Amino acid sequence: MNNKLKTLAKGIIDVSPLMIPVVPFGIIYGVIGMDLGIGPYMTLGLSIIIFGGASQIVLLQLFSGGASSLVILSSVGAVNSRHVLYGAVLSEHLSNLKLSWKIILSYVMTDQAFAVSNNYFKKNNKDKNYHYHLLGSGFTCWTIWQISTILGIVLGSVVPEELGLSFTISLTFLALLIGDFRKFKNIIVMLVSGIVATIGYNTIPFKAYIIVAALSALIVALLLTLIDLKKK
Amino acid sequence: MHWSLIIYAGIITFVTRFSMIFLLKKDILNDRAKKILSFVPAAIFPAIIFPPIFLNSAGSLDLEGNPQILAAIFAIIIGYFSKNIIATIFAGLISYWLLIFFYF
């Protein structure tokens, strides 16, 4: 097998275990899309055009709450801001690639693909075709996400509303935070965000509660980090 | 919903992923900036999680006899000990179903 295919296969294999929770998340997303009545084409269209679970769910939630486009789009931007970090970290490895490669790899860069490929880049900086690793991990995420979205669309017309599947949105995001449950500072940041959003849900105009809550929580995170630095 | 909204949201998502890869030659973010960016999920996800759990359909605080709060607490306990994403989701969902079936 040539080296490019080998690296591509390595990317696929490395990211596979992380795909297990993506399947139920994608199914839930598909079911919710159908539940809100945007239809199968738009539900799948969001998965292809946006290709980001958290952004898609925020968009649906705010849309069904009657938020304006401006608020929806800035909330999507806020949810995505973590990708700036991923891009900055990866730029060192990807800077010599052609523009077309940068575009393709940016489109498929998810939390999971970033996690495994960044790890690979750090350990294998002599591999000339290292970017094929991110191509493999990224397109694995992409394929799994589209298939599970379609499964959700099919199930969406069958699953009864009484099962409270909208509650699974909250549960899915909660599950994505389990890595933070043991860190004291992160718990404070999470509580600030949640409490501000709950109080602000009705009081902050234009449904901008997600942005306001996230900014308040990030300011608290900044203060906590600065206090920490002074101690050292 | 209009397709234009979806396309704009797609562009925003792409730009956040592409911008740094396009602009930077090497990693220029300092450790402090990275530390703060690492808080982004903790700063944003609770804003999505909390309101539907704690508020009723009329938008007022619903703390008494709310099965979602109990189920979420149960999911947090399972998540804390198992560190497993799927176990956390199913713990919350199954306890929620049991609660609405037997108590509420």
Residues A156 and A36: their CA atoms lie apart, in Å, by 10
Position A103 scores a pLDDT of 94
CA distance B103 to chain A (A): 15
Residues near B14 by beta carbon (within 8 Å), at least 6 away in sequence? A106, A107
Residues A105 and A128 in one domain: yes
* A213·B25 Cβ contact <8 A: no
On the question of pLDDT at A157 being above 80, the answer is no
On the question of pLDDT at B66 being above 80, the answer is yes
Residues A129 and A220 in one domain: no
In three-state secondary structure terms, A108 is coil
Q: How many CB atoms lie within 10 A of CB B90?
A: 17
Dump pLDDT digits (tens) for A165-213. 778 878 888 988 888 899 999 999 999 999 999 999 888 887 788 889 9
Structure ipTM: 0.86
Identify the closest residue of chain A to B83 by CA–CA distance: A178
Of the listed ranges A15-19, A222-226, B2-6, B11-15, the least confidently predicted one is A15-19
Q: Which of A173, A191, A207, A222 to mutate to test the interface with B (most CBs of B within 10 A)?
A: A173
Which tokens hold the place of A182?
A: 């043991």
Residues A82 and A143 in one domain: yes
DSSP A3: H
Position A94 scores a pLDDT of 87
Residues A215 and A126 in one domain: no
**Mean pLDDT computed over B85-96:** 89
Helices B40-54 and A82-94 pack at an angle, to 10 degrees, of: 150
Residue A168 lies in a domain: no
**Mean pLDDT computed over B61-86:** 91
Residue A169 lies in a domain: no
Residue A231 lies in a domain: yes
Give CA A130 to chain center in angstroms.
24
Residues A181 and A220 in one domain: yes
Residues B96 and B90: their CA atoms lie apart, in Å, by 10
- Boundary-marking domain end, from A122, A138, A163: A163
State which residues form the domain around A125: 3-163
CA dihedral (B66, A199, A217, A23) positive or negative:
positive
Residues A149 and A187 in one domain: no
Residues A114 and A138: their CA atoms lie apart, in Å, by 8
- Per CB-CB distance under 8 Å, the chain A contacts of B92 are 167-168, 171, 174
- Per CB-CB distance under 8 Å, the chain A contacts of B8 are 69, 73
**Mean pLDDT computed over A70-88:** 86
Residues A141 and A73 in one domain: yes
| Spatial contact of A86 and A109, defined as CB atoms under 8 Å apart | yes
Residues A150 and A189 in one domain: no
| pTM attached to this predicted model | 0.80
Q: What length does chain A have?
A: 232
Total structural domains within chain B: 1
User: Taking all residues of chain A, what is their mean pLDDT, rounded to a whole number?
Assistant: 88
On the question of pLDDT at A1 being above 70, the answer is no
Residues A22 and A126 in one domain: yes
State which residues form the domain around B49: 3-102
User: Taking all residues of chain B, what is their mean pLDDT, rounded to a whole number?
Assistant: 88
Position B68 scores a pLDDT of 93
Residue A11 lies in a domain: yes
Total structural domains within chain A: 2
In three-state secondary structure terms, A182 is coil
In percent, how much of chain A has pLDDT > 90?
44
Torsion, Cα A114 A211 B38 A79, to 10 degrees, reads -10
- At B102, the pLDDT band (50, 70, 90 cuts) reads confident
